[in-house]
């Protein structure tokens, strides 16, 4: 069983990543503005499916890595912490950042593009291969199952955030484009959470 403390720490980092304006949010917004809420929701669903694909890949790969080396978990924890510090630094440097994307006009196109965009996004891969494994612990519950559970939780939380964005696309877009203060707050929040979690992972005792 995943420790509740580890789970909620993981979800805090996942939520910070989900609410920070990025390619997935930009594509969902653009699809909603172009094809309506239906296209936006389809884009969100596609992103979720892509994210679940990454979770499945990480589950198989992580189980194999940990089985091969006693020091793999420590290495992954340090790598995950370093990745979080990188995300914190990037968010801090780009407080006003608001990515743009070309949306899809149809629900089918939005779903397909959302899934493919997520699957071929190396930043999502780094999240699953560096950040997520740091919260997995050897024990009675198989590593692959813990990884799949955490990945599914991340995908679900991201899907919920994007669904809200899709439904309220006009209001969200106006707020993000018209309020530099809101963008700074979201990115500053993400930077703080990433830095705190990154340091915790690196400095925590095995």
What average pLDDT is seen over the chain?
Answer: 80
Region 109-135: mean pLDDT is 81
56-96: pLDDT as tens digits? 888 877 656 665 666 766 776 777 778 778 878 877 777 66
Longest dimension (CA), the chain: 51
Note the pTM of the prediction, 2 decimals. Answer: 0.75
136 sits in which H/E element: none
122-134: pLDDT as tens digits? 667 777 877 787 7
For tokens 């940990």, name the residue: 66
Distance, in Å, from the CA atom of 202 to the CA atom of 81, rounded to the nearest integer, reads: 5
Contacts of 55 (CB under 8 A, 6+ apart): 128, 147, 148, 150, 151, 152, 154, 155
The per-residue pLDDT for 110 is 92
Cβ atoms of residues 166 and 44 within 8 Å: yes
Contacts of 168 (CB under 8 A, 6+ apart): none
17-66: pLDDT as tens digits? 788 777 788 888 888 888 888 999 999 999 999 999 988 888 877 656 66
Burial string for 112-124 (b: 16+ CB within 10 Å, else e) reads bbbbebbbebeeb
What are the residue ranges of helices labelled H in 69-179?
72-93, 107-119, 122-126, 143-167, 169-178
């Amino acid at each position: 069983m995943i420790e509740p403390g580890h789970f909620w720490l993981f979800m805090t980092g996942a939520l910070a990543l989900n609410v920070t304006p990025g390619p997935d949010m930009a594509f969902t917004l653009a699809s909603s503005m172009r094809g309506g809420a239906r296209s936006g929701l389809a884009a969100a669903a596609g992103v979720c499916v892509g994210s679940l694909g990454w979770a499945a890949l990480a589950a198989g790969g992580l189980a194999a890595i940990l089985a091969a080396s006693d020091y793999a978990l420590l290495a992954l924890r340090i790598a995950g912490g370093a990745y979080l510090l990188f995300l914190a630094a990037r968010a801090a440097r780009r407080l006003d950042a608001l990515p743009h994307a070309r949306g899809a006009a149809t629900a089918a196109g939005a779903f397909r593009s959302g899934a493919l965009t997520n699957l071929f996004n190396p930043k999502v891969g780094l999240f699953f291969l560096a950040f997520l494994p740091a919260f997995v612990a050897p024990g009675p519950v198989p590593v692959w199952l813990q990884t799949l559970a955490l990945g599914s939780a991340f995908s679900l939380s991201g899907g919920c955030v994007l669904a809200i964005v899709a439904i309220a696309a006009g209001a969200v877009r106006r707020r993000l484009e018209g309020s530099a203060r809101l963008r700074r707050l979201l990115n500053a929040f993400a930077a703080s959470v990433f830095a705190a979690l990154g340091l915790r992972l690196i400095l925590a005792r095995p």
